[in-house]
Chain A
């Protein structure tokens, strides 16, 4: 590659990076306004028109905070942990196709790549909880680990149905294969992936690693300032990623009549994000053992059954 090509790639990367961070920040604003609307409040409406500058104000406030490491914390791990979370999410976005010609990379194992990074993401939370060397974060970290193991399995199994139907691990090819969105062919798989996706992003009703009523703030209790921003942005970008993945895997990605592909992609993703916000305001939190029961006794068998049915039907389909 020539120098210009490298330069262009880097500019593209920087734009995507900035764009994603901006979107995540706007999601925080959007969530606060939507929750306020659903809860008979106004929400942030002072900074800028409609309070749109609120995320900027929050960001400035947080980065100007003292860079503080608790004296009892494991300094190195404490510093690294918050970086892992947004980093893995950002890397995953490289393979998400936003339109029929908009993507950064088309790996033939894109789906596995995303899932691997999503497993890595939880290390940020566990290590953050561990390195804080404090009891509440430790609880949060351990809960995150248990939750990740319990929900990763049904999540991957639910996706195998999609892989079988499309015959590829590449996200671009999966979208291309969806003349008919997979949500119609794989309704059970869709529901399992949606539930596990919410669990992966630690959102209510699965926000046990944070669980403010019990664990104060869970894994990020001892974090503040810019390090807290990393965790926080990571959570929202994670939510964006899960919404984008559901769009790509089950809702037909950029497919849709009249409008350009990227608009369809954005609309579907935003609708899912709204669903996440809505769930947050209307559901209570599960208990730890209920979460485990739900994952192992309901989600996993359901995912296996879904896989079995898909395989059997797929076999007959191909034979005929």
Chain B
């Protein structure tokens, strides 16, 4: 009961010192407190440095527009304690009109972009923020999209018009900002990289301040891949949103579906059958391999190495053949369902998967020889983009990038979900925290994922693949053709959607790129009231300047490659 006592002590402390009010426990059992805005900074500082356990990481920060419920806005901070393996949620209520929030940038540098997102999406003025601008939406956007009052579809808006003057002012807003310091150092120049550039792997814009080829500073400009995934969730039923999640980190398919279905299952208290869990784990690890293979390809291309991209894509193609056989889809299978998976495994899946597993060790050996063992590549990546463990935690870095700094933090081990505790695998780590360490960790992760897939394949239990809970899971199609009751359920559930119990639920999983968290707020209807997607790439790109300062132009591309991001995962 030590954990319980510790929590009780923390609750008493928060109540006594900061007038924090414990909020009624939502469905995910994370301790939640409501504090006043003016006490926020000291509460956060206390939680980070003094509380037992320390909450070292600002995992997420966003808001809920309560216009459809009690009115006002609720800002929430998801804090994560790596030392104590615990979560905590802080909430702040703000008025809907002219909301003002104190900045947490002084406590966590990672708060910077999250607060800009708050301003961008909800119109919350963050006091004390060093650079409060829009982040995902363009500067000329009118309104704050995640407010309930903002139109949810384009057809609700007046017809689009672009007069010449407005076009000019829009174009002007894209001019690369000149942020050279007005010193006598006239050697500096501003270089605009992207949004279209071969080295940025997508629509990412970097405004770099250079002295010769040495990088003095980098200002990433994101949002070019923003599709409003969080807003879209508010008009989809819980089930019909699953295909959208596939496209958040578009390289790792079902790895996005998993935290989403897990969080909804947690909300409704659904138990997933054993077989479905093992299928999920198996597919997730296959997609981890697929994602890492694209990383191998793009990373080696970033260093000018031309062959590995083709080899990696060739092997990924074999993997997709297997995935296609099992799920019917390739990159975005939309295969998981709330309560299980869509289909049972097809005939012949075992042999197909076995064939893939047999060829992979040799392929990984090939990548190892071409990448990690290549002296030029070692020279290019050693000591480049070094991140210390403390910095990494401060900036919200997770996944292989965090493990390359020496911290063995893998949610599959720390908080096993979907039965990960039954698998025998290791968590590769490195201590250097540089680009080479990140490279080595990822290559080893492929090997470990193969081990998990093999175990899942060997120990596949029999049984149903979808929960029988009629309220939340789709009835089986075969059954709908047999009896009228299931047919009615199927008709209602497909056409209108199922209602989920009111509450809040956060679930974090270990995606290929890091910690991926879905936070769903339900008001009891068939659509999420608010869906917050916390992606690993967002904080990773935020820390780019930290990694790149002082290195050369060519290193910037290597650093970008080594942190492995996907722009859709950054912008959502």
B374 within 8 A of A: yes
**CB of A201, distance to nearest CB on chain B (Å):** 15
A284 touches B380 (CB 8 A): yes
B198 touches A212 (CB 8 A): yes
Q: How far is the CA of A292 from the CA of B198 in the complex (A)?
A: 25
| Given contact pairs A40-B311, A205-B376, A286-B376, A216 touches B306 in the complex (Cβ within 8 A) | no
Q: How far is the CA of A38 from the CA of B302 in the complex (A)?
A: 19
Which of B310, B374, B379, B557 is within 8 Å of A39, CB to CB? B310
Which A-chain residue is minimally distant from B378 (CB atoms)?
A284
| Given contact pairs A40-B310, A40-B311, A284-B374, A289 touches B552 in the complex (Cβ within 8 A) | yes
| Given contact pairs A40-B310, A283-B305, A213 touches B553 in the complex (Cβ within 8 A) | no
B487 within 8 A of A: no
| Given contact pairs A139-B553, A214-B199, A283 touches B314 in the complex (Cβ within 8 A) | no
Q: How far is the CA of A38 from the CA of B377 in the complex (A)?
A: 20
Which of A38, A205, A212, A288 is within 8 Å of B307, CB to CB? A38
Residues of A within 8 A of B191 (CB): 135
B304 touches A284 (CB 8 A): yes
| Given contact pairs A39-B307, A139-B553, A290-B379, A213 touches B189 in the complex (Cβ within 8 A) | no
Q: Which of A205-264 contact B (CB under 8 A)?
A: 205, 207-208, 211-216
Which B-chain residue is minimally distant from A210 (CB atoms)?
B304
B376 touches A213 (CB 8 A): no
Contact with B along A188-214 (1 / 0, CB 8 A): 000000000000000011011001111
| Given contact pairs A204-B304, A284-B304, A288-B552, A213 touches B213 in the complex (Cβ within 8 A) | no
Which A-chain residue is minimally distant from B314 (CB atoms)?
A40
A284 touches B307 (CB 8 A): no
Residues of B within 8 A of A289 (CB): 552
B554 touches A281 (CB 8 A): no
| Given contact pairs A39-B306, A135-B191, A205-B376, A284 touches B300 in the complex (Cβ within 8 A) | yes
Residues of A within 8 A of B310 (CB): 39-41
**CB of A240, distance to nearest CB on chain B (Å):** 21
A135 touches B554 (CB 8 A): no
Q: Which of A20-66 contact B (CB under 8 A)?
A: 35, 38-41
Q: Which of B298-321 contact A (CB under 8 A)?
A: 300-307, 310-311, 314
B556 within 8 A of A: yes
Q: How far is the CA of A212 from the CA of B557 in the complex (A)?
A: 11
B227 within 8 A of A: no
B325 within 8 A of A: no
Residues of A within 8 A of B301 (CB): 213
| Interface residue count on the A side (C-beta < 8 Å) | 28
B197 within 8 A of A: yes
Residues of B within 8 A of A290 (CB): 379-380
B370 touches A282 (CB 8 A): yes
Q: Which of A134-170 contact B (CB under 8 A)?
A: 135, 139
Residues of B within 8 A of A211 (CB): 304, 554
Which A-chain residue is minimally distant from B306 (CB atoms)?
A281
B555 within 8 A of A: yes
**CB of B235, distance to nearest CB on chain A (Å):** 40
Residues of B within 8 A of A215 (CB): 553
Which of B304, B307, B553 is within 8 Å of A207, CB to CB? B304
**CB of A267, distance to nearest CB on chain B (Å):** 26
B307 touches A213 (CB 8 A): no
Q: How far is the CA of A284 from the CA of B301 in the complex (A)?
A: 8
Residues of B within 8 A of A41 (CB): 310
A35 touches B306 (CB 8 A): yes
**CB of A278, distance to nearest CB on chain B (Å):** 10
**CB of A296, distance to nearest CB on chain B (Å):** 16
Which B-chain residue is minimally distant from A290 (CB atoms)?
B379
A75 within 8 A of B: no
Which B-chain residue is minimally distant from A289 (CB atoms)?
B552
**CB of B171, distance to nearest CB on chain A (Å):** 17
| Given contact pairs A39-B307, A135-B189, A283 touches B374 in the complex (Cβ within 8 A) | yes
Which A-chain residue is minimally distant from B212 (CB atoms)?
A142
Which of A208, A280, A286, A287 is within 8 Å of B306, CB to CB? A280
Residues of A within 8 A of B303 (CB): 213, 284-285
B374 touches A214 (CB 8 A): no
Residues of B within 8 A of A280 (CB): 306
**CB of A157, distance to nearest CB on chain B (Å):** 24
Q: Which of B177-224 contact A (CB under 8 A)?
A: 189, 191, 197-199, 213
| Given contact pairs A139-B553, A213-B301, A283 touches B376 in the complex (Cβ within 8 A) | yes
Q: How far is the CA of A305 from the CA of B537 in the complex (A)?
A: 51
**CB of A25, distance to nearest CB on chain B (Å):** 21
B553 touches A214 (CB 8 A): yes
Residues of B within 8 A of A287 (CB): 379-380, 552, 554-555
- For A212, A281, A284, which residue has the most chain B Cβ atoms within 10 angstroms? A284
Which of A35, A213, A284 is within 8 Å of B199, CB to CB? A213
Residues of A within 8 A of B379 (CB): 286-287, 290
Q: How far is the CA of A39 from the CA of B310 in the complex (A)?
A: 6
Q: How far is the CA of A285 from the CA of B304 in the complex (A)?
A: 5
**CB of A37, distance to nearest CB on chain B (Å):** 11
B557 touches A213 (CB 8 A): yes
Which A-chain residue is minimally distant from B370 (CB atoms)?
A282
**CB of A220, distance to nearest CB on chain B (Å):** 14
Q: How far is the CA of A207 from the CA of B304 in the complex (A)?
A: 9
Residues of A within 8 A of B556 (CB): 214
Q: How far is the CA of A302 from the CA of B406 in the complex (A)?
A: 40
A288 touches B554 (CB 8 A): yes
Q: How far is the CA of A211 from the CA of B380 in the complex (A)?
A: 14
- For B199, B300, B370, which residue has the most chain A Cβ atoms within 10 angstroms? B199
Residues of B within 8 A of A38 (CB): 307
Q: How far is the CA of A204 from the CA of B300 in the complex (A)?
A: 14
**CB of A243, distance to nearest CB on chain B (Å):** 20
Which of A35, A139, A213 is within 8 Å of B304, CB to CB? A213
B554 touches A214 (CB 8 A): yes
Contact with A along B285-309 (1 / 0, CB 8 A): 0000000000000001111111100
**CB of B26, distance to nearest CB on chain A (Å):** 46
Q: How far is the CA of A280 from the CA of B310 in the complex (A)?
A: 14
7 contacts between A and B (CB under 8 A): A39-B311, A204-B306, A205-B304, A285-B304, A287-B380, A288-B553, A288-B554
Please list the residues of chain A having a beta carbon within 8 angstroms of any beta carbon in chain B: 35, 38-41, 135, 139, 204-205, 207-208, 211-216, 280-290
Q: A39-B310, A214-B556, A280-B306 are in contact. List 16 more A-B contacts (CB 8 A).
A: A38-B307, A39-B306, A40-B314, A41-B310, A135-B191, A139-B553, A211-B554, A216-B197, A282-B305, A283-B304, A284-B300, A284-B305, A284-B374, A285-B554, A286-B376, A286-B380
- Chain A to chain B: the 7 pairs with minimum beta-carbon distance, closest first: A285-B304, A284-B303, A39-B310, A284-B305, A213-B199, A284-B304, A287-B554
